[in-house]
């Protein structure tokens, strides 16, 4: 998972105080969207729910659609940073692979069915999720490479296993796994972690 976030496009750089207020609003938007989705919420609804003015919301972006994209991107950026902080102290390759996938599952767990439904139905937000799934798949492939090189994972074709894991992760993102199994995204990542760790560990 990774994403970038900066000042709204076409605006002057924000002051430190204004940036801090924008970050606070983004955090509130993340919490609201993860819990309830965003498709049915207007700018007026957002201002009322967050107890702020419309002009404060427009610190994030210039329209509701852009606010949604900025918030979804902020969610994945925050999640990626949290995952990497948790991964950094761990040195055992098997534990790192397990920890990464479990951390992804944990970061996805607050996302409600309404959030996933709205992301799937809104192409710009869906593309942000797709890009971050691609990054996560690359990260998993790298972790498998580490484990094989260290002799802590079985001598398999790491590129093949990584590509197969990436296909599963993409299917999770598309909603195909949920449709086939009833598992939400977080639960599916936990199952993938079990499959890889138990299947590859020496």
| Per-residue pLDDT tens digits for 97-133 | 999 999 999 999 999 999 999 999 999 999 999 999 9
CA atoms within 13 A on the CB side of 106: 13
Q: Residue 5 — very low, low, confident or very high, per pLDDT cuts 50/70/90?
A: very low
List, in order of start, the domains of the chain with CATH numbers: 16-64 (1.10.10), 68-200 (1.10.357.10)
What is this structure's pTM? 0.86
CB atoms within 10 A of CB 84: 14
> Is residue 172 over pLDDT 90?
yes
Q: Residue 17 — very low, low, confident or very high, per pLDDT cuts 50/70/90?
A: confident
**Angle CA(12)–CA(82)–CA(69) in degrees, nearest 5?**
40
């Amino acid at each position: 998972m990774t994403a970038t976030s900066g000042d709204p496009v076409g605006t002057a750089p924000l002051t430190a105080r204004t940036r801090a207020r924008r970050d606070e609003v983004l955090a509130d938007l993340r919490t609201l969207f993860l819990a309830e989705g965003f498709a049915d919420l207007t700018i007026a609804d957002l201002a009322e729910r967050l107890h702020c003015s419309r002009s404060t919301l427009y610190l994030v972006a210039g329209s509701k659609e852009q606010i949604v994209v900025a918030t979804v991107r902020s969610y994945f950026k925050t999640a990626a940073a949290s995952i990497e902080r948790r991964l950094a102290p761990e040195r055992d390759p098997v534990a790192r692979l397990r920890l990464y996938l479990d951390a992804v599952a944990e970061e996805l767990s607050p996302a409600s069915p309404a959030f996933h439904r709205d992301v799937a139905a809104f192409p710009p937000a869906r593309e942000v999720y797709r890009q971050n799934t691609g990054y996560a798949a690359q990260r998993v492939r790298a972790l498998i490479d580490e484990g094989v090189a260290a002799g802590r994972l079985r001598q398999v074709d790491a590129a093949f296993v990584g590509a197969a894991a990436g296909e599963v992760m993409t299917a999770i993102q598309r909603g195909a796994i949920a449709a086939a199994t009833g598992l939400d995204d977080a639960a599916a990542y936990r199952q993938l972690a079990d499959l890889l760790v138990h299947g590859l560990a020496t």
